[in-house]
Structure 1
Amino acid sequence: MSSIHLPIRQLVEFLLRTGSIDSRFTGFDRALEGARIHRKLQKAAGEDYQAEVFFSAERQAEGLTFLLEGRADGIFTDGSGTTVIDEIKTTAVPYEAITEDMNPCHWAQGMVYGAIYCSRQSLPELNVQLTYYQIDTDQIIRFMRRFSAPELEQFLHKLLCQYAPWARQQLDWAARRSQSLAALPFPFAQYRPGQRALAGEVYRACRAGRDADHKGGSRLFCQAPTGIGKTMSVLFPALRAMGEGSGEKLFYLTARNTTQAAAEDAIARLRTAAPELALRSVTLTAKEKVCLHPDSEGHPACLPELCPYANGYYDRIKDALSALLDDTGSFDRAALAGAAKRFSVCPFELGLDLSEWCDVVIGDYNYLFDPVVHLKRFFDASGDWLFLIDEAHNLPDRARAMYSARFFKSSLTEAKRALGKGKSSLRTALTRADRAFLDIRKACVRLAPRRGQTGAPETDTAQTTLLPSLQDPVPELPEPLYAQDGTVFLRELPSALLSPLRAVQAPLQDWLEANPDADAHAQLLELYFAVQDILRSSERYDSHFVTQLTARSSELELQLLCLDPAPFVEASLSAGRCAALFSATLTPPSYYRGVLGCADARAVALPSPFPAENLGLYCMANISTRYRDRETSVQAVSDALARLTSGKTGNYLAFFPSYAYLRQVYEDFATRHPDIRTLVQESGADDAARAEFLAQFVPQPKETLLGFGVLGGVFGEGVDLAGDRLIGCAIVGVGLPQVNPQQEMLRRYYDAQNGSGFDYAYRYPGMNKVLQAAGRVIRTPEDRGVVLLLDDRFARPDYARLFPPHWQHIRYLHSAEELGQALQDFWQK
């Protein structure tokens, strides 16, 4: 008899949920507040109340075995000795509108738990209680119903019979999928050099999964050279492992849309190579980008009276799924939009619902790692998931940003102004919060008067201004860690700011729901989400965070800053059986394992398969691009670029540590070398401007082109200019992040953790940008090109030790004339 794993909540919501998407009751994020209220009510229920009781059971229906799992909010015995299953629900529905039959899914969930509990404990009957907590008024209302054990068992059996056709379809699909994946051929005539080694590492990691050594799932860090075809090299072995029973679903997670497209293209190629391949994939895109019916401000309008795709969504979604799941499908952004219009359903929610029935889910990092938008339907519990993390060198900074939060005093002032005149509970709450921020801003100014010093690191021993002993301690602030240049860092949460922000929530929510058409709605909605974000972050705040307060003019910026995302990333990865994190730059592996919470992960670095002689690698060791030397280095850098581009007619890129330095060198270069065509990366350029920039790098150019870009920017990684579309690049400086109080706090933290503060805060992130930029040049075995490093620090052992093995032939030069001769020799070979 076939069996299928089925979460209880998924069972009842899929079959019984009806009606519309309505952001008034579901669109505002209530998850964190709901969890807090659950804990509060469970604790208040007393010692005999069993909270978060896990259920698992087997049931047969229609020739299938269902493995049911779920977690009841509570179980207790009432005064008469009757067992009660308690389901706690937080709601924004007005108290007077809460009814016993408001949501049949709530009763159904409790009844399924009741059926399992009666069977387990041999009970003849029990009570199911629904506890509704009105989140804005703190009012509680309870409803109770008694059910006999046969009645509950019959109800559960009926649900399973209804679900059986869907379960059988999925089981049949899984068998067909496994058979086709097990026989899946590699879609090319042969492996590129390095591809087989990478594929083998990923395959073994997927097969290892969870065992005695990998209780949280196996982890693999793989540094693989740019140009070997990493996307196919990881997708193909992971899918083969799925076909052999190692993995139920594959999540391909990326930092940018371009790499999502690469995954879609790889799957399309696999389909071409194996026309009978049974595989469904879906690409998840942010709601703001796929919404078919935004409001006048361009935001998703998730109200049934405004959006036809939200209205009646749950009444139509099963018909849409039934039609879309009849065979293999690739549901990218365009396909989801077309299906959404066809069935009149929300494309964003359709993508999420399709993901439960698809084999490959492609999306941004945040669908796994972000505590707010991660896919709760998969990752609130562990599963047999395979995670492929593309361009994993981006994950440390992205993860820090996901767990951090910021809030500005000015948003309170502007919200009061937008409200207009007149008294209200919201205006009162905003005024109190604004006053609290004003008081703390004054305290920050006293603690850390601004000195106006900014810039890039002068040396590798940049100093922090430590807090002097205070003659006049500020009672509003906990003891600071240190203060510098208008910024104060605290170890503790600033309750003097968080309490008034918490008091803003309820009146702000009320105003937004009562005034959906007001001119100020969009602005106050933005404030609402900012308040929610900072309060969410405060809930997970621990020793891996610091509080940053920055005073600028009349502004006060509050940041709850995650310095070390390791435990949060590790917890997310533990939801799956395997995680393969791959990139061209994961050096040193100890750094990435440390900041991403994967201390025991296997780390491999594959050698470059490309002939070393195809890369001319030079360093001008007589040039300093340190911040203090930039003014005097402009002409030397400009001369080196002129020598680089005169070696051979073609397309070149030069990468700089900042826009300001880029502009200085560009102006000098354009003045003294007007015969060389140039392009400049503009700050804040949109997708169209980026595409136009890259389109200038044409094959077989008739004249030389030099593009000026920024290290770590959009052209410094993820850009594939193969062949003679790019034959050389210059990298100006070692890429160190700008010295600022935040980077210095990061440095102090890791100095305390492992004595490697400068490496973790500056050197490793900087060299990662350097290596990524250098990887733009050699993309195929036939490519030839040059990389020019401009900074004397590249000759120092503490930087040179971070070079990849295929850089052993680097030549250190000391004049433009030496460079010219070296380039002439290279191109004449």
Structure 2
Amino acid sequence: MSRYRIAVRTLCDFTAREGDLDHRFTPAPSAQEGIEGHRLVASRRGEDYLAELPLSGEYQGLRVAGRADGFDPNANRLEEVKTYRGNLDRMAANQRALHWAQVKVYGALLCAEQRLERVTLALVYLEITSGQETLLTQEASSTELQAFFTDQCQRFLVWAEQEYTHRLRRDEWLATLTFPYPDFRPGQRPLAEDVYKAASTGRCLLAQAPTGIGKTLGTLFPMLSAMPRQQLDKVAFLTMKTPGRRLALDALARLSAPSSSPPTSLPSTSTPPISSSLSPSALASPLRVLELVARQKACEYLGAACQGDACPLAAGFYDRLPAARQAAVARCWLDRDGLREVALAHSVCPYYLGQELARWADVVVGDVNHWFDSHALLHGLAQANDWRVGLLVDEAHNMVERARGMYSAELSQQRLSRLRRRSPPALAKPLARVGRQWQALTKEVTSYAAASQRYHLLDTLPSKLVGSLQTLAGAITDYLVEHPDAASVELQELLFEALGFCRLAERFDDHSLCDLAIYGRGDAVLGLRNVIPADFLAARFKAAHSAVLFSATLSPFHYYRDLLGLPQSSVWREVASPFSACQLEVRIRADISTRYHHREVSVTPIVEALSDQYQRQPGHYLAFFSSFAYLEKVMAQFQLAHPTVSVFAQTRGMQEAERDAFLARFTPEGKGIGFAVLGGAFAEGIDLPGERLIGAFIATLGLPPFNDFNEALKARLNARFGQGDDYTYRIPGMIKVVQAAGRVIRGPEDEGTVILMDDRFAQARVRALLPRWWGRVKVLGENS
């Protein structure tokens, strides 16, 4: 019986890589181009050709499996197809050695399965632009290939045995995992039970749970408890912002620490727990925890290229990787600092060591892009290795906008023009062609539009401009292959932007809009803007064993179900709030309008509302506005009218230190009003418990601006879901409002006031989006 399974590619990545890390510019084909290249090669073979041939075998409890690209039984030839661009001679020797290792392992599996004595091994290199094949072959006997397979397996087997033992120890420890406090917080236990059920049934759960109940611990604990029973390979805790990673790591550290209090566990299920001879309180946690950070944050030599002759941590990377990898998994706890310490001790790059350890960690904490964007690391590894993954997505109310950004792209006419003026001669013609197509497009668009119109929604893709971009991308690729030393940052960025734009153009449909913004002569921006991420995300949710999305604001359910492409079996749960209506006084000022054309006259009553509440109950407040201009206007008048009240404000482009200083003003004994922008850094994700914050004023519905883009978005969402106005304006706006109001009550002892200043808050369809635990909301000035 197999004790450990591994993909052929992963096995060879582990055993056959050597030498330098080399991430210099290599014009690799896209995933779709690779798929099409494989299809092209298969179409050129005979009718008996077997493409995507599944093969597997076992060696001393190690099961190795994968899909060979193709086998021609008539020629007795096994093929491994690799697509590339440019000059094949520039491919690194260690890369080609890795390719040979893969086809040899497949050859051993094929000979064993079909009882072949000999086979021809072939590396088929397909130049993706020209379609030209280069065929490299070797004759090999079954005996030779079996010896090679045995050698690779033996080199991996020590690690495999270690991993098998680790998996057993990890699962034994998790089977006895207990909650690290004597009891759950109010609302935390129902949340944990719902997460456990979702993991046990392999479903997607949307959990709306109020701020302050401990959602991070309340989701991690049950998912980890379900891990051994559901045979999960990985748990990925995905966040929208860096502070979310810190909270997850803190919760994981708490779960791993021995508890001196009587533990609390989840209710027993019909599945008996795995018996354990190990006591988790008697040993360190065997759970491997990895924090993934962005490359620029992990880089030790900013500005140096990721290649052996430019960065000392890239030189000999693969030669030193085995020792670094072993030290890392022995350490188990690999947050940013821990990973860096291991990497530098072995003189390897921290970022790429982290990428490698994503294969071997049990819990990965990182940004949502690691699973959901088009080049997601964790999703790619899960697909390649057939992992069962449990996803936890924090602050999931941000997921719609984050996902839209992942599948959108834009191109600047000015940027292309600047590069054209100093481009190498070899790129002059393709750049000129793009320039002509830009001019033709802007001329066509402005011919039927008003002279003052800036934004233009295009009915179709500008196919000629996209075609010229594809040609330009190919020309830049060819140029950089022939002139690698000329790979300037600007030229590479243009190439990546052009390729990204063209790839999205290939998938253009009613899930996206194409628009053109014209700012002046020779200054236009062409955008492909995703508006319905569901069409891209549905497959990502399907690839996970279970996914839990949680936030304090995840209603209405249909909004997230429709726009994120959640499975039909998804369930929505609202955790009852542990807070009572008597803790929070909510008032609506229906005699104030914050609509754009009422801004001027609204300033005075807003200033009076702030002053009245402050005089009634001095303390610290936050006041939220729709824009910096609106904020500054109200604050200026407030300071004139009430110079003795301390005020401080969020400013444009605030740096991290400035944000920390802003929050530091909210001391338990302090008083004053902080002015901020709704949807900004201080409207969510900050914790000011007790007397540090006793109230909030919200002088806006948070509605996205009424403009041509949002009206086009509204029309598209209405056509798909019949919910254009709600999905474009009302729901996104109220999510921001509720998040901002959620800063006031952070714990069971907190009390405070929220004043909503706009007559539209009194409308029934708007009030229906307010949290139910708020209870009765007072409406003031409704008939004024």
TM-score relative to the length of structure 2: 0.92
1:242 matched residue in structure 2: 227
2:265 matched residue in structure 1: none
Aligned with 1:351 (options 349, 354, 358)? 354
Query: SS where residue 624 of structure 1 aligns?
Result: coil
Shift of 1:58: 3.8
Whole-Å separation in 2 of the counterparts to 1:515 and 1:333: 37
- Write the deviation string for residues 272-325 of structure 1: whole angstroms up to 9, x where unpaired: 234532111111111112111122xxxx52121111111111111111111222
Whole-Å separation in 2 of the counterparts to 1:69 and 1:621: 66
Query: Does structure 1 residue 72 correspond to structure 2 residue 68?
Result: yes
1:565 matched residue in structure 2: 533
Shift of 1:721: 0.8
1:592 matched residue in structure 2: 560
Give the letter aligned to residue 71 of structure 2. Answer: I
Shift of 1:101: 8.2
After superposition, the Cα gap between the structure-2 partners of 1:225 and 1:640, relative to the gap in structure 1 and judged at 3 Å, is: same
1:674 matched residue in structure 2: 643
Query: SS where residue 755 of structure 2 aligns?
Result: strand
Aligned with 1:172 (options 165, 170, 173)? 165
Give the letter aligned to residue 286 of structure 1. Answer: A
Query: SS where residue 780 of structure 1 aligns?
Result: coil
Give the letter aligned to residue 236 of structure 1. Answer: F
Whole-Å separation in 1 of the counterparts to 2:707 and 2:28: 35
2:77 matched residue in structure 1: 84
Query: SS where residue 375 of structure 2 aligns?
Result: coil
Shift of 1:389: 0.5
Query: SS where residue 576 of structure 2 aligns?
Result: coil
- Write the deviation string for residues 373-421 of structure 1: whole angstroms up to 9, x where unpaired: 43322245652110000011111111111011111111111112343xx
Mean CA deviation greater in 20-29 or 492-501: 20-29
- Equivalence map 1:256-655=2 (5 Å): 256-273=241-258, 274=281, 276-295=284-303, 301-327=305-331, 329-375=332-378, 376-380=380-384, 382-419=386-423, 424-449=425-450, 451=452, 485-490=454-459, 492-512=460-480, 521-553=488-520, 554-598=522-566, 599-655=568-624
After superposition, the Cα gap between the structure-2 partners of 1:71 and 1:556, relative to the gap in structure 1 and judged at 3 Å, is: farther
After superposition, the Cα gap between the structure-2 partners of 1:239 and 1:796, relative to the gap in structure 1 and judged at 3 Å, is: same
- Write the deviation string for residues 741-760 of structure 1: whole angstroms up to 9, x where unpaired: 22222211121122110001
- Preserved CA contact (<8 Å) 2:759 2:782: no
Whole-Å separation in 1 of the counterparts to 2:533 and 2:674: 35
After superposition, the Cα gap between the structure-2 partners of 1:317 and 1:92, relative to the gap in structure 1 and judged at 3 Å, is: farther
Cα RMSD over matched residues? 2.3
Count of residues paired in the alignment: 758
Whole-Å separation in 2 of the counterparts to 1:317 and 1:302: 15
After superposition, the Cα gap between the structure-2 partners of 1:100 and 1:668, relative to the gap in structure 1 and judged at 3 Å, is: closer
Aligned with 2:177 (options 174, 184, 191)? 184
Query: SS where residue 411 of structure 1 aligns?
Result: helix
Whole-Å separation in 1 of the counterparts to 2:764 and 2:43: 58
Whole-Å separation in 1 of the counterparts to 2:93 and 2:75: 21
Shift of 1:245: 4.1
- Preserved CA contact (<8 Å) 2:426 2:479: no
- Write the deviation string for residues 567-591 of structure 1: whole angstroms up to 9, x where unpaired: 3212112222100000000010111
After superposition, the Cα gap between the structure-2 partners of 1:516 and 1:120, relative to the gap in structure 1 and judged at 3 Å, is: closer
Give the letter aligned to residue 73 of structure 1. Answer: D
In structure 2, the gaps of 5 or more residues are: 259-280
- Preserved CA contact (<8 Å) 1:445 1:551: no
Whole-Å separation in 2 of the counterparts to 1:98 and 1:279: 39
Whole-Å separation in 2 of the counterparts to 1:550 and 1:380: 41
- Preserved CA contact (<8 Å) 2:510 2:716: no
1:17 matched residue in structure 2: 17
- Preserved CA contact (<8 Å) 1:666 1:708: yes
Whole-Å separation in 1 of the counterparts to 2:228 and 2:92: 48
Query: Does structure 1 residue 787 correspond to structure 2 residue 754?
Result: yes
Mean CA deviation greater in 388-397 or 133-142: 133-142
Whole-Å separation in 2 of the counterparts to 1:640 and 1:280: 53
Mean CA deviation greater in 553-562 or 10-19: 553-562
Query: SS where residue 23 of structure 1 aligns?
Result: coil
After superposition, the Cα gap between the structure-2 partners of 1:347 and 1:609, relative to the gap in structure 1 and judged at 3 Å, is: same
Shift of 1:602: 0.6
Aligned with 1:220 (options 200, 205, 211)? 205
Whole-Å separation in 2 of the counterparts to 1:563 and 1:687: 30
Whole-Å separation in 1 of the counterparts to 2:147 and 2:320: 27
Query: Does structure 1 residue 163 correspond to structure 2 residue 159?
Result: no
Whole-Å separation in 2 of the counterparts to 1:382 and 1:100: 29
Whole-Å separation in 2 of the counterparts to 1:100 and 1:169: 31
Whole-Å separation in 2 of the counterparts to 1:405 and 1:672: 47
Whole-Å separation in 2 of the counterparts to 1:193 and 1:605: 13
- Preserved CA contact (<8 Å) 1:447 1:488: no
Give the letter aligned to residue 536 of structure 1. Answer: R
Give the letter aligned to residue 295 of structure 2. Answer: K
After superposition, the Cα gap between the structure-2 partners of 1:590 and 1:234, relative to the gap in structure 1 and judged at 3 Å, is: same
- Preserved CA contact (<8 Å) 1:591 1:760: yes
Query: SS where residue 184 of structure 1 aligns?
Result: coil
- Write the deviation string for residues 27-72 of structure 1: whole angstroms up to 9, x where unpaired: 86754543443333333446544333333x24132xxx23322122
In structure 1, the gaps of 5 or more residues are: 210-217, 453-484, 819-829
Whole-Å separation in 2 of the counterparts to 1:98 and 1:690: 47
Query: SS where residue 704 of structure 2 aligns?
Result: coil
Whole-Å separation in 2 of the counterparts to 1:136 and 1:309: 34
- Preserved CA contact (<8 Å) 1:4 1:66: yes
- Preserved CA contact (<8 Å) 2:588 2:761: yes
1:59 matched residue in structure 2: 58
Aligned with 2:200 (options 204, 207, 210)? 207
Mean CA deviation greater in 704-713 or 542-551: 542-551
- Write the deviation string for residues 450-508 of structure 1: whole angstroms up to 9, x where unpaired: 546xxxxxxxxxxxxxxxxxxxxxxxxxxxxxxxx531222x43221111111222332
Shift of 1:634: 1.3
Shift of 1:332: 1.4
Give the letter aligned to residue 247 of structure 1. Answer: L
Whole-Å separation in 2 of the counterparts to 1:27 and 1:343: 30
- Preserved CA contact (<8 Å) 1:24 1:513: no
Query: SS where residue 227 of structure 2 aligns?
Result: helix
After superposition, the Cα gap between the structure-2 partners of 1:98 and 1:224, relative to the gap in structure 1 and judged at 3 Å, is: closer
Shift of 1:222: 0.2
- Preserved CA contact (<8 Å) 1:448 1:488: no
Whole-Å separation in 1 of the counterparts to 2:29 and 2:667: 47
Give the letter aligned to residue 63 of structure 2. Answer: L
Query: SS where residue 609 of structure 1 aligns?
Result: coil
Query: SS where residue 608 of structure 2 aligns?
Result: helix
Give the letter aligned to residue 163 of structure 1. Answer: F
Shift of 1:230: 0.5
Query: Does structure 1 residue 663 correspond to structure 2 residue 663?
Result: no
Whole-Å separation in 2 of the counterparts to 1:244 and 1:50: 38
Shift of 1:139: 4.4
2:7 matched residue in structure 1: 7
1:473 matched residue in structure 2: none
- Preserved CA contact (<8 Å) 2:457 2:712: no
Aligned with 1:727 (options 677, 688, 694)? 694
Query: SS where residue 414 of structure 2 aligns?
Result: helix
TM-score relative to the length of structure 1: 0.87
Whole-Å separation in 2 of the counterparts to 1:736 and 1:381: 44
